[in-house]
Amino acid sequence: MHDDRLDPLEAVSPVDGRYRETLRECSIYFSEHALIKQRLLVELRYLRSFLKAVGLNGDQPKLMELEEKLAELSLKEAAEVKQLERKLGHDVVAATSYLGEKLEQHGLKHLKPLIHYGLTSDDVNNIAYALAISGFINQTYTPQLLTLVEKLTALAETHKSTPFLARTHGQPAVPTSFGSFVANYAYRLANLAVKLNNLKPQAKLGGAAGDLAALKTTYPDVDWMRFAESFVNSLGLEHNPAATQTLPHERMSEILTTFAIVNSVLSNLCRDVWMLGSLGLVEYARRAEEVHSSTMPQKKNPLAFENAEGALDLSASMLSYMSTRLLSSRLHRDLSDSIIKRFYGTALSLSLLGVKNIHKGLDNLHVNVEAMKKEVESNKQALMEAVQLILRKHGVEDGYGLAAEAAEKGLERLRQQLLQRGQNPEIIPQTTEQYIQAAAEKAAHLLEKTKHIISYLRNQLPR
């Protein structure tokens, strides 16, 4: 008999191979096992709600007992469903067939005709996917992202007054602080985490064309629109009534797009850290036994940040494509979306991989404070913005031009020019102190706001 168990070394996707240990928790939401379990739970919860709606309440205790067992569906049991799918050629029909067997085993054979009553397969699948993504966001991804924001917040706090030379267009610009630079990222990511957390996945019940017509025809006295809304909302999702056979994808597109934006911000952070390393302003630690180059033994490379950047960029591209492509469905339904949705897990697992690698990178990052200070102190041109503004403040009309000339020919020439004009040369700023202080104050302001956001989100997440 052929052994279907997958060795990570045989995996085609690195998510299930190279990075399996790092991303093991993703299988709780996105594996075939997880999807089968969710389908069965959705079918059974629907059956329970349907029976209540039509006045058949007597079997609820046995159904609740079965639901508890299905929530612990084993791999072996999921494999039985998969075997049924090979025979029947339909994943949801395989789930309903398996559920029928379980009902019979629990003395509920008389309920088998009511399984999947009035539903279509996408009624089950859209809810299953929504629950999977909701669980991933709330239980796994957001806690990891928040912890990353906390690390950035702590790094910014430590260095809120550390002098740091800002660069615009790749060129030295003005003095700032390293803490202010990092606090920007912490604040931006904290706000994105809130946005992601507040985007509740939508789902629908609609039947073959979205009108609940089959249910209305067979049980005309039930308010099926209200039933559908109540059922979907009871699962912690938001009901969308504007469905055909398939769920409109606008909300899920918002969620995927927000993931893509987070990925892009994090990827830019990785590139910034990489550039700081090339400037000698940060250093990357390396374990004693770790090798960063097959030929250059001295190398200490930003491997975690580079790995994160690649994973995040790939994930952002996949999610951006999904978010636009899945808005399209021919007339009342076509199946082209099905294969794309099966890759939700790949794209979102890569998002998590990126976050985890940045965690690792930050844990091994050393900020070269002295190098940062030295760079600011040795770059007198960084004061030229302040020089031209001070000159203009004191009525020197061509202050900008004089400062530009001083940037090339030195401040001593500017002092002489001011003396010749009867101006006090002492007005020329000599230190970067005010710039650093302003940056530190901004950092403190951002960090206070960021900490409030973190506290708010921690209270929103499941305990």
The average confidence (pLDDT) of the chain is 92
Which of 215-224, 280-289, 451-460 has the weakest average pLDDT?
280-289
Q: Which residues are catalytic?
A: 169, 293
Which two structure tokens, joined as six digits, stand for 117? 């009553």
Q: What is residue 2's predicted lDDT score, i.e. its pLDDT?
A: 45
Identify the H or E element spanning 388.
Answer: helix 384-393
Instruction: Please tell me the distance from the alpha carbon of residue 376 to that of residue 383, in angstroms, as a whole number.
Output: 10
- Mean pLDDT to the nearest integer, 15-43: 92
Give how far Cα 73 sits from Cα of 31, 41, 85, 139, Å.
13, 10, 17, 20
Which two structure tokens, joined as six digits, stand for 111? 């309920």
Nearest to 122 by CA among 345, 326, 319, 320: 326
pLDDT digits (tens, 9 = 90+) for 393-446: 999 889 999 989 988 898 889 899 989 888 888 888 888 899 999 999 999 999
pLDDT digits (tens, 9 = 90+) for 433-454: 999 999 999 999 999 999 999 9
Burial 357-385 (b: 16+ CB within 10 A, else e): bbebbbebbebbeeebbebbeeeebbbbb
Nearest to 35 by CA among 83, 117, 91: 91
Cα angle: 253, vertex 257, 260; to 5 degrees: 145
Instruction: Please tell me the distance from the alpha carbon of residue 389 to that of residue 46, in angstroms, as a whole number.
Output: 69
8 A C-beta contact, residue 120 and residue 75:
no
Instruction: Report how far apart the first and last C-alpha atoms of the chain are (Å, whole number).
Output: 44
Burial 157-190 (b: 16+ CB within 10 A, else e): bebbbbbbbbeeeeeebbbbbbbbbbbbbbbbbb
Instruction: Please tell me the distance from the alpha carbon of residue 327 to that of residue 322, in angstroms, as a whole number.
Output: 8
Q: Which domains does the chain have, with CATH numbers?
A: 9-117 (1.10.275.10), 122-165+176-374 (1.20.200.10), 379-430 (no CATH)
Q: What is residue 286's predicted lDDT score, i.e. its pLDDT?
A: 76
pTM over 0.75: yes
Distance of CA 394 to the CA centre of its chain: 50
